[in-house]
With several copies, the nearest count.
Chain A
Amino acid sequence: MMYPRVVRIHKVVEETKDVKTVFFPFDERVEPGQFFMVLIPDVDEIPMSVSYLLDESKGFTFKRVGDATNKLFEKKAGDLIGVRGPLGNGFNIHGEKILFVAGGTGVASVAPAVEKALSQNRETVVALGAKNREELFFVERLKERGAEVHVATDDGSIGYHGLVSDLMLELVEGDSFDLVVTCGPEQMMKKVVEVCSKKGLDVQASLERHIKCGMGVCGQCCVCGGLRVCVDGPVFDGETLSKCRDFGLFKRDASGKKVYIH
């Protein structure tokens, strides 16, 4: 039922100065790329991709950016939150060799997809982008699991100096992939999808739109001619996105007004 399940946080991990992972008991099956609506009592209920898929518990990893995430940042093990989900479609992991391209907190939803690919013995290359060395996270986690991880930072403090989409260009030049999976800032994903279209690569991108109901009734999260990010997405394939005039162009704010993406 589309009703928040009240759970007690059982672990909180600080990933960076502004990013934390919250673990909560949840023993049902969740797919990488799916998300939960996370209820922070008295404040808001916000969408969060699943970042850890354990048998008995699940986790999400978030950056503090505003009211709700700041309040969430204060929560400790033992505190109550609500989780409604899993929602959305998730990634469709297939092919022998997969490239994952994540920017910022995008790695949160990509990480479990990488782990799934590895557990299925697929060849797995990951490109992670961040502003700087301090804002990177999950690099060790993915390396330890056996992924080939490449890093890009805006300031060059570690790895490739530049945008992860440029790093990605290099990676696809020298190699062939059956699938590209991406999550991050929409401008970045737009570039990734464009590159894939040109190269004829299969691609899946996870979109963010303002989510209210999360159950397909309010219409708030619509993109690309009436597709609902909350139930038809958040993951869309390259074919859909190539025909989508708002992808990389505008989002809608809480009132439904267009907000252009810069």
Chain B
Amino acid sequence: MDETADAIKRVIQSGAGAVVTKSIGREPREGYPNPTVVELPHGILNAMGLPNPGVEAYVEEMKELTNVDVPVIGSVFSDSEKGFSFLAKKMELYGADAVELNLSCPHAHGYGFEVGSQPDLVENIVKTVKETVKIPVFAKLSSNVTSIVEIGKAAEEGGADGVVAINSVKALKIDVDLKKPILYNKIGGYSGRGIKPIGVRCVYELAKEISIPIIGAGGVEKGEDAVEYILAGASAVEIGAGVYYRGLTVFKKVCKEITEWMKRNGYNAVDEFKGVALR
């Protein structure tokens, strides 16, 4: 729900406190043929293939978002330092409040995770982008690595203003009737309910080792899911698959449920319980 300006506005009206755009690249990409998304018993599996109209065309969408009330975070993907900084600069010009570097898409060949699993490359990409733009830079990390902490530290070294963890988890569903992988791209990214314990683990591990803010993602659907991420050290959370499970009202509902939990537990501000589970 972040492809177009209109869609993003609808998400904002639905109560989101900030929005992240679809990941944008230099050239238009159609993404993979369908099936690109299926529901599994315990989550959602997708291999969209980073469809996007290309950064030049995306200016049209960004222009319409300049007057919205919440921060708009421009997500970008590339295969090189230069590519990332070019795109980040564009996003800054277009009025993005921050930029999120997609170093973690699990199914796009040559992008995302394939770039984001190499600490040196991550550090250099973040550094180059930081030298190019003034807006905050977030690195979105993958759990599909031997050590997410190593990658998180590389991002911090590079000067990132924060990290986002996690993107979807590399996974596969084979249909036993067709006897083939169900997605056109075969391998996809697993999000939603089933991956929450993995996302929370990643945030917890990162929070122990890095000091820049962490944004949690993966299976947030209810207020208590968000609370779990915050207790693990996250400063905020992103919601993806939750939109499917609870509809667009998921944003308002989650906020309400967090507030209720805070009341029950005697907290007035998120900072009061952020990272409490780390002690």
Number of cross-chain contacts by CB at 8 Å: 130
Asked if B259 is at the interface of the complex by the 8 Å CB criterion, the answer is: no
Inter-chain contacts of B136 with A (CB < 8 A): none
How many interface residues does B have (CB within 8 Å)? Answer: 46
**Interface of B, helix, strand, loop or mixed by DSSP:** loop
The residue in chain B whose Cβ has the minimal distance to the Cβ of A216 is B244
Q: Give the most central of B3, B35, B36, B52: most A CB within 10 Å.
A: B35
With A41-B178, A258-B60: A1-B46 Cβ-Cβ less than 8 Å: no
Inter-chain contacts of A225 with B (CB < 8 A): 6, 9-10
Inter-chain contacts of A84 with B (CB < 8 A): 38
Asked if A45 is at the interface of the complex by the 8 Å CB criterion, the answer is: yes
Chain A window 1-13, contacts with chain B (Cβ cutoff 8 Å), 1 for yes, 0 for no: 1111010000000
Chain B window 232-267, contacts with chain A (Cβ cutoff 8 Å), 1 for yes, 0 for no: 000000001101100110000000000000000000
Q: Which of B77-100 contact A (CB under 8 A)?
A: none
Contact B30 A255 (CB under 8 A): yes
Q: Which of A191-232 contact B (CB under 8 A)?
A: 211-220, 222-228
Q: Which of A1-48 contact B (CB under 8 A)?
A: 1-4, 6, 37, 39, 41-46
Contact B35 A45 (CB under 8 A): yes
Residue of A6, A215, A216, A255 touching B177 (CB-CB under 8 A): A6
Contact B7 A217 (CB under 8 A): no
The docked-state distance in angstroms from the alpha carbon of A222 to that of B177 is: 32
How many interface residues does A have (CB within 8 Å)? Answer: 40
Residue of B7, B35, B46, B60 touching A4 (CB-CB under 8 A): B35
Residue of B13, B29, B36 touching A255 (CB-CB under 8 A): B29
The residue in chain B whose Cβ has the minimal distance to the Cβ of A44 is B33
Contact B51 A256 (CB under 8 A): yes
Contact B34 A82 (CB under 8 A): no
Residues of B bordering A, CB below 8 Å: 1-4, 6-11, 13, 22, 28-31, 33-41, 44, 46, 48, 51-54, 57, 60, 175, 177-178, 180, 182, 184, 240-241, 243-244, 247-248
Residues of A bordering B, CB below 8 Å: 1-4, 6, 37, 39, 41-46, 80, 82, 84, 211-220, 222-228, 252-258
New A-B contacts (11) at CB < 8 Å, excluding given A46-B34, A228-B1: A2-B37, A3-B38, A3-B40, A80-B177, A82-B175, A213-B46, A216-B243, A217-B243, A217-B244, A227-B10, A256-B51
